[in-house]
């Protein structure tokens, strides 16, 4: 019987299993989780013939190395990187056949942060609350990969894409995040609101799957004290006591007591997933719909 599995030879700094996440459980304190760069995850699934909900691998900065136990079709997208099979250069952002026992090496990100690896049939770890995603905040789902981990694979259900290379946007040289102000913009001075939407920030190296942290001018509050904990949403821009905005990403807490000055448009969040530390950030206010 064919062994449908991937052995992890090099796990990298942080490689996790991700799919579309587990929405609908915030009332239980469970974040949505899921792939931070959803378009890149969808692309590797399309290239390998998987449905959009199939689980993929999300690597962070320095890639990973894998050895399939049977012949597989893979695709690598997201942050551009060098791909090699048994030491030979291989295609990036295109379907790639990897023989059983060959070493698939996903190199460090050349630009951007997160690279996605899709495999025909998808990664078939056990679902938790309907999702195979690793959630770093709650600890649900499979733990981050370690050297020697063996991941089961599903059976391919579709035919991989017939393309040489699929187009994909480059990671941002400057991150522009469209925001709708509120619901707690009245907790900040008029000067702070002007600073928020006019002054540049930079992505902090302390950013992670929970939130994109920024470095830049502190935002002054108009009110003292703290809010009672209230619900938090994906893309919420929370301002902690140091005054530097934090953009909540997929593993964000479901409640929080720091005021939310604005919410980022969902369409802009994939670019935030690929913004490397030091990337300039601008918040652009748009009208409420």
pTM comes to 0.95
The reply to whether CATH 2.40.100.10 applies to domain 175-285 is yes
Rounded CA-CA distance 259/278 in Å is: 25
pLDDT confidence of residue 225: 83
- What is the end-to-end Cα distance of the chain in Å, rounded? 56
Note the pLDDT tens digit of each residue in 53-76. 999 999 999 999 999 999 999 999
Rounded CA-CA distance 80/113 in Å is: 9
- Find how far residue 125's CA is from the centre of its chain: 19
Domain ranges of the chain: 5-152, 175-285
Those residues of the chain that have pLDDT short of 70 are: 1-2, 161-165, 288-289
pLDDT confidence of residue 169: 82
């Amino acid at each position: 019987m064919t062994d449908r599995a991937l052995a992890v030879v090099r796990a990298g700094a942080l490689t996790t299993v991700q799919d579309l996440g587990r929405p609908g459980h915030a009332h239980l304190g469970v974040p949505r989780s899921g792939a931070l760069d959803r378009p890149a995850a969808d692309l590797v699934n399309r290239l390998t013939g998987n449905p959009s909900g199939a689980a993929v691998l999300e690597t962070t900065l320095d890639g990973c190395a894998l050895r399939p136990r049977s012949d597989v079709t893979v695709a690598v997208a997201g942050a551009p990187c060098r791909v090699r099979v048994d030491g030979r250069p291989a295609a990036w952002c295109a379907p790639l056949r990897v023989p059983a026992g060959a070493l698939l090496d996903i190199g460090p990100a050349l630009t951007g942060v997160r690279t996605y690896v899709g495999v025909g049939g998808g990664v078939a770890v056990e679902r938790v609350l309907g999702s195979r995603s690793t959630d770093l905040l709650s600890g649900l789902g499979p733990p981050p990969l370690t050297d020697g981990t063996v991941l089961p694979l599903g059976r391919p259900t579709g035919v991989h894409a017939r393309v040489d290379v699929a187009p994909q946007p480059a990671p941002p040289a400057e991150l522009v995040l469209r925001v709708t102000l509120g619901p707690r913009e009245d907790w900040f001075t008029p000067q702070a609101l002007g600073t928020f939407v006019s002054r540049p920030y930079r992505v902090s190296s302390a950013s992670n799957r929970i939130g994109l942290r920024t470095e830049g001018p502190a935002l002054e509050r108009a009110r003292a004290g703290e809010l009672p904990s209230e619900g938090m949403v994906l893309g919420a821009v929370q301002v902690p006591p140091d005054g530097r905005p934090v953009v909540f990403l997929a593993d964000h807490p479901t409640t929080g007591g720091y005021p939310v000055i604005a919410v980022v448009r969902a369409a802009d969040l994939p670019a935030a997933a690929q913004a490397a530390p030091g990337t300039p950030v601008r918040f652009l206010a748009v009208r409420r719909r």
